[in-house]
Every structure is written in structure tokens, then in C-alpha cells.
Chain A
Amino acid sequence: MFFMGKRLFAPFYASVALAICTFLVACLDIPSEPETKNQIEKIAVFVYQGSLKDSVQLKINSKDSSALVAKVYPEEHSKDVSYLWYKDQKLLDSGSTYPITARNASNSIFRNSSIPNRLTVSDKNKNSISVDFNVIVNAPPMLFQSTTPSQGDTLVGNSSTPILFRWASADPDKGQKLTHILEIDNIQYSVGEFTEVRQSGLKQGDHRFRVIVVDPYGEKDSTSWQEFYIARTAGAK
């Protein structure tokens, strides 16, 4: 009877032994635990330009020099790590700060090759963390100070006369649509892409106007206030 029982349980013992062996073999494939855990929780890239710090839009004015600054969190590890700045796969530089000269930013060829879009931060134990980003290089729009009417002009008309307002704007970034605001006597008229309009409603007397230009990134420029005088004429009301 005992003999028969032993024969019955033999396949069971064999299966258990096989399972243990499989488990042990599987354990051999498990990578060994790193010597120490990655202590860097997060990294971020900031743009520093003059007194401005920006980590959201990462927008720089191409007319001035600027710098990309890497921040490591918790900050106490910032000195114990290495920083590598890449443009796509190409390593550009190392260090927690990446300077961008105005020359590199304003020249489209340099801009494409010399402004990084990836930061990799590694600690001594080769633990690394990367962040991809996109730096917006934008030159602010410009308004020429020469306008129609110009400072001190006297125009003849009445409140129904269409007064021609003309100005000129430019943007070093080609292809950007500029929008303009014509401000006459503190009333703002949104005039879109126009650089001249005719507006009426100005009574006899002193008036002033200025133009504000805005690019798609919200950068602005404006003319100085131009004062002019309307001398009344008879006729249509």
C-alpha cells in the first residue's frame, strides 16, 4: 500500500522540483538592483534673459543674449550631477547653463544648429533623466516713428471727414502676421494687419494718436503719441 502511494506521488514531486528549478532559473534573468536609487526627481529648463525667467514658453528675444538654465529637483543634488545639452542627437555642450548669444539666436542657420532641444542630467551612478523642450526665438516687431498725420499737423475737416492714418511696421521674423491697434484720443481701434485706415468722428480741436503693433507671441512695439489739430470746415455734418 505504501509502495503504491509512493508511486502515485512521484509525478507530483517531480512537478514541484521542476517548478522550483524554473523559478531559480528565472531569478538569474532579473537585473541586479542599482547600487543606489536615482535621487533626482525632476528636471526643468528655464530661459534667463535680462531680468526675465521663463520656464513655460521658453521664449527668447533674438536681439539679446540669453541662457538656458537647468534646474534639478531636489536642488541639493544640483552640484552632484552632470548636464548634457543636445540638439536632436548631437551633443552641444555640458554644464548647468547653456549660453545663447544674440548672434546665434538671430541667425536662422546658427539658430537651428546651436540651440538645444534636449537636456540629459546624470548622477554619479549613471542614473539619468531627460527632458525635451523647444526654445522659441522671437524678435519683437518694430514700428517706424514716421506716421501720417505726424506730430503737429493741422488737418481740415469735421467729425464726418475721414482722416488718413498711416504707419509702417516690420518684424525680423519673416512670415509673422502683425496686428495693429490704432489708439486715437485713448480709444483703441483694432485694425488687424492694416497699416493705413481712414477714420472719422474727430471734432475740431486737438487730438493725439499712436499705433501699437503686436506679433503672434505677444511682443509689442508702439509709436510715440503724435499730436495733431483739426480745423473745422463747413459742409456735411
Chain B
Amino acid sequence: MKQIFTLALFLTAIILSACTDSDSYYFNESDSQAIQVDAYITTSFDESTSRVKCDTVSPGDSIIFLSVVQPSKSARSQSTFWTLDGKEFAHEFSFKSSIITPGIHHVSFVFVDIFGDTLSDSITLYVASEPSLDSRYFVPADETQNLDPNEQIRFAWNGYDPDSLWDIYYHFELQESPSDQEKEKKPIVDTILEQPFFTLNKKLNPLTKYLWHVCTFNNLKHASKATLESSFYTQGVSGENAIQGFVKSTSSETVDKVHLVLMDSSKTVIRELPNKKLDSQFNSFYIKPLPAGQYTLVTFIDSLPDFKADTTVLHLEGDQVYSLDSIFLEDTIPPVISALSTGDTLDYADTLQFLLKDGGGKIVFSRTSTYLDDTPITSITLSSDTLTIPLPYEKSWSPRILTITTVDQSLNYTTRNFYLKPNAKLFEEIQ
């Protein structure tokens, strides 16, 4: 009986085993689908925008957190979410957000697949405020005079990290102000400092303007919004002085050369510089060395007689650079428009020519316009100072009015009307 029961049990096991397709329970690699997830940060959903896994941003900057699931986001999953420093903070695949807390943040995209396996990818985000630099209050103050070129010069300013998290550094540069002939000077000092102060031990030139510049950045290369730009003057030796003149004019064109006449208190010309070139950066010139005393400086432009000469009286005390920023050359004389023939009544012709003259600079085409009665003529040409106006072949027995307007570099303008008499000969030629 027991043997029969055992046999029946054995046969049942064989039948049950045969009923199952046990092969289908084996893992078949070809049936599987590998899933890969990537997380990125970017600034735009546009595919051409760069995607990175590590970046530095300012607190509150808008950032796009982007996930890529391969082969497709439609791969079956139990859940997907993002974590910020280990805490869940979003469940979208991709979204726009910002982080306001400064520091190093770890953001992860987590994908839990249908089998409960977890796939994830991480992003590192440095959230840092720009370092702060006080560009208003520093030592020595801007335009300080009479600093001894043979003594130490101490520079100090105020910079700090608003987050109190990052190291901050200062890029300090010192250079001589470019002279008349130079566009740019090589820096005397170009250094990175960890402290917001610097002592210059190098001897400088007397009676010279120097420029110094500071910018701040942190160890994430975030630079301060403000930069410090300042200047100072060194004093002269044994009572010498200098004048640094800054030239301004009414002209929209840069004045690059002036005529300088320097007279002493008895009005005797002691220095005449007919073609003094101005430096391109500050439009300035130097006259040095000069003994202490009272001077009269006359500034004008030889080639531009419309500019009225500037006369300045100044007093030099000794060992100083006089910063003269009141030189102003003014042109109030408008340009002159004249026909090649005399008078303002002309015979109507197919082309007329006029002279446009101005003593304050070149007349430019774009500031010149002509009208025949009220109709603008656009096909005019201006060559040197000659304006050529082609007139339409219109048969008319009434006089016409040609109006020419031109504006010089100092925005003085002239409008002149010419009367065009009917020209029977011209109309006969046309017929």
C-alpha cells in the first residue's frame, strides 16, 4: 500500500514538472533591457545648451535639473524622484528650480525600476554669492596727490565673502598712467593677494600719475560685481611741479592734438608745444617739470580754428601734479554752405555742386540733407568739402527752392536755401 502511495506521489511530481515551461524562468540576457539614468544641470531645455554635472551658481539662480533615462523615460518604474542633500525635493523627470542656501549641494536623480532596483546619478552644485568689494571707500582715496615716490605706499580696501564659506582673493594691479605716446603701460605690480591690503616698496617716478585696480574673486572663481579703480600722483623732487591737463571739447570727434602755450606770471611764454599729442585713454597731456609759481596756460587747436582757445590761470605750490580738468574747447561757429558760383539764385541744372566748410572738423555725409521744395534728394554725394546734388529732369517754369542743411561735429547746424530759376536751355536739351 505504501509503495503504491509513493509511486503515485512520484508520478504526480513528474506530471506537474512536465506541465511547467521551466525554461521561461531562466534569465535570458537577450530579453532584458538595460536602463541607464543620467542627471544634468543646464540653463535651457534646448538640446544645444551645454549640460553639466558640476557647476557654480549664485543663490537663487534659476537652474534646470534634467534627467535622461535610456533607452526611454517610458521604461517601467516604481518611482522616480530627485534628492537635495539626501532629502526628496522633486518628482518630475526634469524641472526648473533654484537653491538659495550657499554651500556645496549634492543633487541626485533616483530611478526605482519595476523590480525595485535603484538607479541614480548625482550632480554637485556649488551655490556661492559673489564676494563683495567696497569700491567707494579705500586708501589712498582716488586722485590723491603728493605721495612720496621714494617711500612705501600702503593700499587698503575692504572685501569679504557674504557667505562666510569661501576663501577670497584679490587681484591687485598697479601701472603708470599711459603717457602721450603710449596706449597702455605694462603693470608695475600684478599680483594675487589673500589680504585686502598691499604695501608697495618699489620706488616710483616723481610727478607721475599711477593707476591701481583691484578685483575680488572666491575660490570658485566667482568675481565681485564691483571693481576698484583708482589713481594717485607722486610728488616732485626739490620743488618740481607738473600739470596734467585733461582736454574736453564740444566735438563728437576725439581731439588728439592740441597747441599749448604756457606763460609765467609776467605773461612771458616759457613753453610752447604746438603739436602736443593727447593720450588716448584720458585725453590728457603732461607738462613737467615746472618750478613753483603762477602760470597761464592757453590751449587751442591749430587745424580747427572754430574752437575757441581755453585760457587757464593756475598756481603751483611745489612737488605736486596739478590736475587740470577744466580745459574746454568750444566750437559755436556753424558750418558755411556756398554755391560754386556766387549768390543764392542758380539756374536749374541736372547737377549742382556746393561747398560745405567748417573750421571745427570734417563735415560728414550722414549729417547733411537736401530738399528740392519739400522732396528729399537722397542721391547726393559728399567728396571732401564738395556736395554734389543731382536734380530730377522735371519740366517746370516756376522757380524751385533747394534747401541744404548740414551739422558739424559740435552739433552747430546751418540751413541755406537756394532759388533755382527755370532753365529753358536744359529743357530744350531734354526734349
Do these two chains interact? yes
Binds A, one of B7-15, B25-33, B132-140, B351-359: B132-140
Q: Number of B residues contacting the other chain (C-beta, 8 Å)?
A: 31
Q: Enumerate A178-237 residues with CB–CB distance to B below 8 Å.
A: 182, 187-194, 196-201, 233-237
| A197 engages B139 (CB within 8 Å) | yes
Cα distance A155–B306 when bound, in Å?
46
Identify B137's interface contact among A189, A197, A200, A236, CB under 8 A.
A189
For the complex, is A95 an interface residue (Cβ under 8 Å from B)?
Answer: no
Contact A160 B140 (CB under 8 A): no
Q: How far is the CB of A116 from chain B (nearest CB, A)?
A: 31
| Beta-carbon contact of B145 and A197 below 8 Å | no
B147 at the interface (CB under 8 A from A): yes
Query: Which of B137, B139, B153 neighbours the largest number of chain A CB atoms within 10 Å of its CB?
Result: B139
User: Contact check: which of B134, B138, B195, B321 meets A236 at CB < 8 Å?
Assistant: B321
Q: Contact at A192–B317, with CB atoms within 8 Å?
A: no
Contact B196 A192 (CB under 8 A): yes
Q: Is the beta-carbon distance between B139 and A191 smaller than 8 angstroms?
A: yes
A161 CB-CB contact with B under 8 Å: yes
Q: Contacts A162-B146, A233-B317, A235-B317 hold; do A200 and B196 have CB atoms under 8 A apart? A: no
B144 and A194 form a contact (CB under 8 A): no
A194-B156, A235-B322 in contact; A188/B143 too (CB < 8 A)?
A: no
Contact A196 B154 (CB under 8 A): yes
The answer to whether A235 and B320 touch across the interface, beta carbons within 8 angstroms, is: yes
Residue of B nearest to A160 (CB): B145
How distant is the Cα of A200 from the Cα of B232 in the complex, in angstroms?
Answer: 10
Q: Interface 1/0s, chain B 315-328, versus A by CB < 8 A? A: 11110111101000
CB of B413 within 8 Å of the partner chain: no
Q: Are A236 and B197 in contact (CB under 8 A)?
A: no
Contact of B140 among A162, A193, A237 (CB under 8 A): A162
- Which residues of chain A are near B321, meaning CB under 8 Å? 236
Report B294 CB to chain A, min CB distance, Å.
10
| CA–CA, A40 and B322, complex, Å | 77
A147-184 interface with B by 8 A CB criterion = 160-162, 182
Q: What residues of chain A lie closer than 8 Å to B233, measured between beta carbons?
A: 160, 236
Instruction: Give CA–CA (A188, B195) in the complex, Å.
Output: 17
**Across the interface, do B144 and A160 meet the contact criterion of CB distance under 8 Å?**
yes
Q: A161-B146, A189-B138 are in contact. List 12 more A-B contacts (CB 8 A).
A: A160-B323, A162-B145, A188-B137, A189-B137, A190-B157, A190-B196, A194-B156, A198-B144, A199-B140, A200-B144, A201-B142, A235-B322
- List 21 interface pairs A-B (beta carbons < 8 Å), by A numbering: A160-B144, A161-B146, A162-B146, A182-B139, A188-B137, A189-B156, A189-B158, A190-B157, A190-B196, A196-B154, A197-B154, A198-B144, A200-B141, A200-B145, A234-B315, A235-B317, A235-B318, A236-B320, A236-B322, A237-B322, A237-B323
A residues adjacent to B (C-beta < 8 A): 160-162, 182, 187-194, 196-201, 233-237
Q: 6 closest Cβ contacts across the A-B interface?
A: A192-B197, A235-B317, A190-B158, A201-B141, A160-B145, A200-B144
